[in-house]
Amino acid sequence: MSHPAKRWSAAILGAILAVAGAVVAAPLSAQAAPDVREHTITGYWQNFDNGATNLRLSQIPDAYGIVAVAFADASSQVGGITFTLDPALTNALGGYDKAQFIADIATLRSQGRQVVISVGGQNGAISLPDAAAAHAFATSTYALMQEYGFDGVDIDLENAPNLVNMTSALRQLSSLAGEDLVLTMAPETIYVQPGGSYLALIDEVADLITVVNTQYYNSGSMLGRDGKAYSSGTVDFQTALADILLDGHLRADQVGLGLPASPSGAGSGYVNPTVVNAAYDCLTVGVNCGSYKPAAKYPTLRGAMTWSINWDASNGYNFANVVGQHLGAPPVEPEDPEEPTDPGATTWSSSQVYVGGDTVLYNGVTYRAAWWTQGDVPGADPWGPWKVV
């Protein structure tokens, strides 16, 4: 979510397994799961006014298949949560009340979308120090699901969750809610590095998880699956770190790529949505990669996440339009990549810096750069730096 930038050093992290050969990933065992769209965007709806566009749930574009309501509040009981519409937001929306909010949740659900209550965030103060707190979390979350119509919960705790008690809480919630429970997570990068606390939690409740959308922003350099350090703001950062989750921890349909919707949505790590698309292409069909090559192809990758829907609205819904449309029309793996027709053209790389006059080959087409560029996918934007030769 939108938080002060946190810097972590890759040097303090342990080594991880080297990448395997590029093959299509063998699926982990499947289990009953909510009827979530095959490829979609998870978006956070802000229950507060911070300068981004204020929205009613009914105004959220269809590209957002999972909507996380941010955020629940801590109740007076340790571990318990509650929820109330922010009065300032209610006033800014001309009197958006609880009944209208509940009706909007029902409308989104009738459209085949899911709505979850998000727990945590920058100012989240939910902790589960003991078994009683775990029980309070499960029962209070389920009570909100019944009261408002939420499909489940999003875990966005920006600290190390208590493994034993959070595992217990989520399993108790699953027992209450049944197999249609939607469980999403949005861990910071440091916590899903090998040995990280979220990665341990993911392993404990993988059979319950709908999707994990790691926050690939507000982060320093991190280790990828190959043990090398990658910097945020690049295709490699997303693909190399996502490949850790895909290394036996989660199925591809349980993994999404979390990025901010606009520069205002995070302290650092914003990328043009075309870079998100390139990372998605790299992981699903092995094209548009940077220097990192995933260990396999993951065609069932769930999609992406953004903080936030409101900041996306302030930015003309650029994220929803660019990424959402791309998820709706998955890339096709080229059977025979063509060689450059221009002797000076090289295959385009998202991590390479190009200057005006440079030529590249992308999907069999030669493009020439009109000005300095890095990460702009050729052909993605008719007003962008790349022009067909």
The CATH number linked to 363 is 2.10.10.20
**Does a structural domain hold residue 101?**
yes
Same domain for 315 and 339, yes or no, is: no
Q: Of 278, 306, 328, which residue is a domain's last? A: 328
The DSSP annotation for 17-36 comes to PPP---EEPPPPPP------
**Does a structural domain hold residue 69?**
yes
- Cβ 64 vs Cβ 110: under 8 Å: no
**Does a structural domain hold residue 1?**
no
Taking the C-alpha atoms of residue 94 and residue 15, their distance in angstroms, rounded to an integer, is 54
Give me the pLDDT at residue 336, please: 47
What's the whole-model pTM score?
Answer: 0.81
- Characterize 234-266 residue by residue with b for buried, 16 or more Cβ atoms within 10 angstroms of its Cβ, and e for exposed: bbbbbbbbbbbbbbebbbbbbbbbbbbbbebbb
Residue 269 has φ and ψ, to the nearest 5°, of 95, 5
Give me the pLDDT at residue 54, please: 97
Give me the pLDDT at residue 388, please: 81
Same domain for 257 and 188, yes or no, is: yes
Same domain for 112 and 217, yes or no, is: yes
Q: Output the tens digit of pLDDT for each of the chain's 389 residues.
A: 644 333 333 333 333 333 333 456 655 544 445 789 999 999 999 999 999 999 999 999 999 999 999 999 999 999 999 999 999 999 999 999 999 999 999 999 999 999 999 999 766 678 899 999 999 999 999 999 999 999 999 999 877 789 999 999 999 999 999 999 999 999 999 999 999 999 999 999 999 999 999 999 999 999 999 999 999 999 999 999 999 999 999 999 999 999 999 999 999 999 999 999 999 999 999 999 999 999 999 999 999 999 999 999 999 999 999 999 999 865 555 544 444 456 667 888 888 888 888 898 877 778 888 888 888 888 777 778 888 87
Residues 6+ away with beta carbon under 8 Å from 65 = 36, 37, 40, 41, 42, 112, 113, 114, 303
Q: Of 288, 309, 328, which residue is a domain's last? A: 328
**Does a structural domain hold residue 2?**
no
Taking the C-alpha atoms of residue 67 and residue 3, their distance in angstroms, rounded to an integer, is 19
Residue with tokens 């459209």: 111
Which one, of 332, 206, 318, 179, lies nearest residue 262 by Cα? 318
CA distances from 115 to 66, 69, 108 (A): 6, 7, 8
Give me the pLDDT at residue 8, please: 37
Domain that holds residue 384: 334-389
Same domain for 342 and 323, yes or no, is: no
For the CA atoms of 227, 230, 235, 240, the dihedral, rounded to the nearest 10 degrees, stands at 20
**Does a structural domain hold residue 237?**
yes
Catalytic residues, by residue number, are 158
Same domain for 276 and 381, yes or no, is: no
Same domain for 270 and 355, yes or no, is: no
**Does a structural domain hold residue 4?**
no
**Does a structural domain hold residue 3?**
no
Give me the pLDDT at residue 4, please: 36
The CATH number linked to 198 is 3.20.20.80
Same domain for 44 and 168, yes or no, is: yes
Q: Of 280, 299, 328, which residue is a domain's last? A: 328
Same domain for 55 and 182, yes or no, is: yes
Same domain for 310 and 343, yes or no, is: no
Same domain for 343 and 256, yes or no, is: no
Which one, of 205, 70, 206, lies nearest residue 138 by Cα? 205
Give me the pLDDT at residue 10, please: 39
Residue with tokens 């022009």: 387
Overall size of the chain counted in residues: 389
Strands 386-388 and 365-369: antiparallel
Which one, of 349, 264, 362, lies nearest residue 313 by Cα? 264
**Does a structural domain hold residue 5?**
no
Give me the pLDDT at residue 34, please: 76
Same domain for 300 and 339, yes or no, is: no
Same domain for 245 and 126, yes or no, is: yes
Give me the pLDDT at residue 254, please: 98
Whether the ω angle into residue 308 lies within 30 degrees of 0, i.e. cis, is yes
Split into its structural domains, the chain has a count of 2
Beta bridge pairs of residue 44: 68
Cα R_g (the chain), whole angstroms: 21
Strands 23-24 and 296-297: parallel
Strands 222-223 and 229-230: antiparallel
